Structure 1
């Protein structure tokens, strides 16, 4: 029986894990920057290309259309050909498309390039969390993955800085920003040298010798840092790929098997609700503030303050992942985000809008720290990337619909009606997590999978005992 999971679970947090955090985190920085900077381009492009409100909304959805296909493909391919390969190719696609988009002369071509770039960013966003979480022991996995997602916040802040300082400089300054978003191509050489394949995935594919070689290097680095390895403990074995899985179609069918159907439904509802609400807010807030009477400069400065709220939001969520559990973190932050959205809908003064927007940004991004930690954990290793990728892709349907729907509703319902609608959506997502989710805090990935894949009675008994022990 392979000891790969047990060897990973006994490792203390080391320089190896810190390096993984920076590698994956920098990818998330540029993913977020690419998505968020469009919100600052839209008011300029709307004027420059004489776009209607609906056309502006469609343009805003271009990236998320690409996200949908990129996330789904990354998940499916990540379980078949490996996480590392998908991650590298995703970055290549994204960088090339972002560079080409800088030369666009009309909105249909620009949108086409945004869709292609979205394929790359969607693929990378969906594969990083399940990939890197498989290197981390249970005792700090929630904080690690939540902190990994927190790098999104730095990308949003960078986008706001570019929107505030660069885009207003000239009518075509947005083209310079598009070139800047393509710069992470220089990360490719670093990634190719420093990122090993997931040993847990290799183990489930029968490539145990390769997995052992990677874990040997991890353990050697731990010892070189002067840290001690704990004795091996009894563990749930890594389940090999189940008959019928290992192919794209088989993995997709597995998501709706008896053991995983409720978890898949929960993940889809969770991602759809948070992503719809999130992008309804962050894609349109600069433009809506301008249309409400603010200057572009003031609108962008307000947006920068709101984006800065993401940083403490993410890291507070990452910390709470291990303190109160993923479900409690996600549900509470969703509910508080809904209340903040309601406050934003009811306020009128600039100071009140800024305060409510700051709180909404804080809580919605804190929610993502839980979502990115929770989703990979609830799926077994052989379909983990598929589960994460497809759930993320379903969430992108909300991101696709949100800018278009806001563009349609704003002339009819106004600022308050648009953001008031996010409250109900977020509450629905919170209830899905609480009712249909499973506790994962303090459990190895193999133990969580065993709970889902064994006989239903045994799994429920194990779950009940775990709840009593951990008070999750």
Structure 2
């Protein structure tokens, strides 16, 4: 481990880190609002613009198409030109495109603006966790990044409130909602302008003087706030060699590095993990309303039901963030995956409104909690030189699951019903959990450089 990395590992959790958590987390909040509020806007647009089912479906998929390319490109660029620059550009793209979508008057231009907005949110989601993880000590990195992902839940709850209170209030309510999700991002951009570039990334690119100056400035802030800095742990030659290894210098080289030697195992594990959770998540939440309608539940249109399901995400995310350090990332991810599948199967067997509500709360709790482990784990298992490339590609691959799952489930349902749909997606979750446990590496209580050394020597 290099001297700079040792100094970062010695930092206590402080006001500096709380500020990082809020600044980064608010980005995730607006990302979630943007994605979730579309479900409340599409029914209005379908009626106003007289859209067919196909056109409505295409509009619904536009954000995810943009997300795929945004995550893919942002991850690679984050390793080449810096995490901070990509983060700022991504946020600006999202804000501009979201504002543009509020001013459209036809579905083709709305689709284009949503794809571009999705590109921005995909890039933002892929870059924030690995960027901020590089400022955090091993002692609380899992809880920090898991809590960072927890800000997604606030966005979903806010989207539910906007969707039910603002969208139906006026014929232009959908435009107001889109503006409300975009304008605050401009203030967030202004707040983020003072964030430093990752010293770990600077060091990986050979920019040692800049990295040292960044660490020095942060330590001055910590001391000014009354923090007590521990003596950095001594360097080890082997870890130092891994930290100072030459970084890939092109997009092609970065992607190739993901599948070079023993790194291929980690890449295969993260891709499978993201595919399993994202495929199952969208399978479950796409078909839950249909399940309830089939059983004649008036609760399907209840504001209370929708809001409670969204609110259940909050303790789901933050409980998993806490367990990231208590159980470890692998155990937390696997446990929440399996329990989410059990809750989904339970929903198919419930008959009363109360029982379905309870199962739905558990489903939302565990499925969203899984992401707190997934985001923390993915940000740790790749070396600094290709960290955001690894996170971005895994996130993009997971988005394929979001695009494919509703379509595939549409073919499964006529033959096997809801039991078959939820059974198959639960089996995918169990398979994903096993892959994480068998192919994953332990990251709890270890520096990012030490994790990279294990990956090289495993």
TM-score by length of 1: 0.90
Separation (CA, whole Å) in 2 of partners of 1:112 and 1:291: 35
Q: Does 1:450 align with 2:446?
A: no
Cα shift at 1:285: 5.0
1:156 equivalent in alignment to 2:156 = yes
2:324 counterpart (321, 324, 341): 321
Q: What's 1:237 paired with?
A: 240
Q: Classify 1:60/1:410 alpha carbon distance in 2 versus 1 (closer, same or farther; 3 Å).
A: farther
Distance in 2 between residues matched to 1:346 and 1:366, nearest whole Å: 23
Q: Is the 8 A contact 2:299 2:305 kept in 1?
A: no
Q: Corresponding residue for 2:94?
A: 94
Q: Closer, same or farther in 2 for the Cα pair 1:116/1:81, shift >3 Å? A: same
CA distance 1:76–1:26, change in 2 (3 Å): same
CA–CA separation in structure 2 for the residues paired with 1:262 and 1:181: 39
Measure the CA separation in 2 of the matches of 1:101 and 1:227.
45
User: Is 1:257 the equivalent of 2:260?
Assistant: yes
1:192 maps onto 2:193 in alignment? yes
Q: Say whether residues 1:343 and 2:343 are aligned partners.
A: no
8 A Cα contact 2:347 2:356, kept in partner: yes
**Cα deviations by residue, 1:407-432 (Å, 9 ceiling, x for unpaired):** 66667766555444421221121111
| Cα offset, 1:294, TM superposition | 6.0
User: Cα deviations across residues 192-231 of structure 1 (Å, max 9, x unaligned)?
Assistant: 12x1000000011111111111111121122122221111
Is 1:311 the counterpart of 2:291? The answer is: no
2:80 corresponds in structure 1 to 80
Aligned counterparts of 2:406 and 2:234: Cα–Cα separation in 1: 50
**Aligned to 1:75, what secondary structure does the other structure show?**
helix
3-state secondary structure, aligned to 1:12 = coil
Cα distance in 1 for residues equivalent to 2:288 and 2:29: 20
Question: Quick one: distance in 1 between partners of 2:167 and 2:295?
Answer: 20
Aligned residues: 454
* Higher alpha-carbon deviation: 393-402 or 236-245: 236-245
Range moving further from structure 2, 25-34 or 46-55: 46-55
**Cα distance in 2 between the residues matched to 1:52 and 1:347:** 34
8 Å contact 1:43–1:287 — kept in the other structure?
Answer: no
Instruction: Judge conservation of contact 2:205–2:247 (CA < 8 Å) in 1.
Output: no
CA distance in 1, matches of 2:21, 2:368: 18
- When residues 353 and 360 of structure 1 are mapped into structure 2, their CA distance, relative to the original with a 3 A threshold, is same
- Residue 101 of structure 1 and its aligned partner are, at CA, apart by 1.2
Q: Which moved more, 1:219-228 or 1:330-339?
A: 219-228
Q: Distance in 2 between matches of 1:88 and 1:292?
A: 47
Any stretches of 5+ residues in structure 2 without a counterpart?
none
Q: Cα distance, 1:279 vs. partner?
A: 2.6
CA distance in 2, matches of 1:403, 1:423: 15
Q: 2-side partners of 1:369 and 1:269: how far apart?
A: 17
Alignment check: 8 A CA contact 2:204 2:247 kept: no
User: Does 1:363 pair with 2:366?
Assistant: yes
- Aligned equivalent of 1:273: 276
Aligned to 1:462: none
Q: Does 1:428 align with 2:435?
A: no
1:384 corresponds to: 387
| Partner SS, residue 360 of structure 2 | helix
Counterpart check, 1:41 vs 2:44: no
* Aligned mates of 2:52, 2:438 — CA distance in 1: 42
Per-residue deviation, residues 161-212 of structure 1 (Å, max 9, x unmatched): 111212222444222111111121221111112x100000001111111111
Return the TM-score normalized by structure 2.
0.93
Post-superposition offset of 1:350: 2.7
Query: What is the RMSD of the two structures over their aligned residues, measured on CA atoms?
Result: 2.3
